[in-house]
Amino acid sequence: MEPFDSIFLAIVSKLLIGVLVLIVTYWLNHRLEILKNFLSFQTALAPNRTAAYQSLWEKTEPLTPREVAALDVSAAKGVCFEDLRDWYYKKGNAMYLSLDAADLFLGGLKLLERTEVSAKEIKDHFSSLRTQLKIDLGVYKRADAKVQIPRTS
Reported as a single tens digit per residue, the pLDDT across 113-149 is: 998 999 999 999 999 999 999 999 988 888 777 776 6
For residue 13, name the pLDDT band (cuts at 50, 70, 90): very high
Do 145 and 86 form a contact (C-beta atoms < 8 A)? no
pLDDT given at position 149: 63
For residue 27, name the pLDDT band (cuts at 50, 70, 90): very high
User: Residue 153 pLDDT > 80, yes or no?
Assistant: no
Using the CB atoms, write b or e for 77-114: b if 16+ within 10 Å. Answer: beebbeebeebbeeeebeebbbeebbebbeebeebbee
Q: How far apart are the first and last CA of the chain?
A: 87
Do 132 and 105 form a contact (C-beta atoms < 8 A)? no
User: Residue 152 pLDDT > 60, yes or no?
Assistant: no
Reported as a single tens digit per residue, the pLDDT across 62-97 is: 898 888 888 888 888 888 999 999 999 999 999 999
Nearest to 98 by CA among 140, 52, 143, 60: 52
How many Å apart are CA 41 and CA 98, to the nearest integer? Answer: 14
Alpha-carbon separation of residue 119 from 19, 62, 77, 116 (angstroms): 65, 11, 10, 10
Whether the model pTM is above 0.85: no
